[in-house]
Amino acid sequence: MATSSNQGQSEGTLAHGGPQHGKAAFPPFDPANVTPLLVWLALSFGLLYLLMSKIALPQVANILRARMGKISKDIADAHAARAESEQAAAALEKTIAEARSKAQVVAQQTHARLQAETEVKRQGLEANLNSQLAAAEVRLTEMKNQAMANVGTIAGEAAAAIITRITGKPADTAAITSALAADKG
């Protein structure tokens, strides 16, 4: 049995090319190919370096420079816009302050004007009331004088009526008038 399995192995080795196939070296590791491979490596590396340094890297550098320039310009524009907005805000605050001061002046002027108008109306009303009061005092004095004048007549009539009632005889009007006049004086 062992012989039959050994036979199968040797037949399989011969079928694949035999023992000669395993002795050949991998071409990149073959000492005969090292020199041409190193030459091609140097040429490929030199060509790649030349292409990168002359074409690709300058384009990348230009792109980076352009990008830096755009970023710097955008930052400068942003600073300019910020300064402009700060100036606009300061101008707005100044305008608001001026409007407030003008509004305050207008309010004070309006208050003063209304107060002056009110004072004029008050003085007019006071003058009207004083004139009405003076006219009322004059009428009151006239009415008082009239009443006082009538008091003498009424007193004389009352005295005559009292005397007539007490004595039963008509009273002397001349004596009553002279008695009333002596009492006033």
pLDDT digits (tens, 9 = 90+) for 60-74: 999 999 999 999 999
pTM for this one?
A: 0.40
- pLDDT band at residue 185 using 50, 70 and 90 as cut-offs: low
Mean pLDDT over the full length of the chain: 84
DSSP string, 107-133: HHHHHHHHHHHHHHHHHHHHHHHHHHH
The predicted model gives 135-156 an average pLDDT of: 85
- pLDDT band at residue 82 using 50, 70 and 90 as cut-offs: very high
CA distance 183 to 181: 5
More confident: 16 or 175: 175
Residue 14 predicted with pLDDT over 60: no
CA distance 43 to 32: 19
Residue 15 one-letter amino acid = A
In b/e form, how buried is each residue of 11-45, taking b as 16+ CB within 10 angstroms? eeeeeeeeeeeeeeeeeeeeeeeeeeeeeeeeeee
Structure tokens at 101: 């001061």
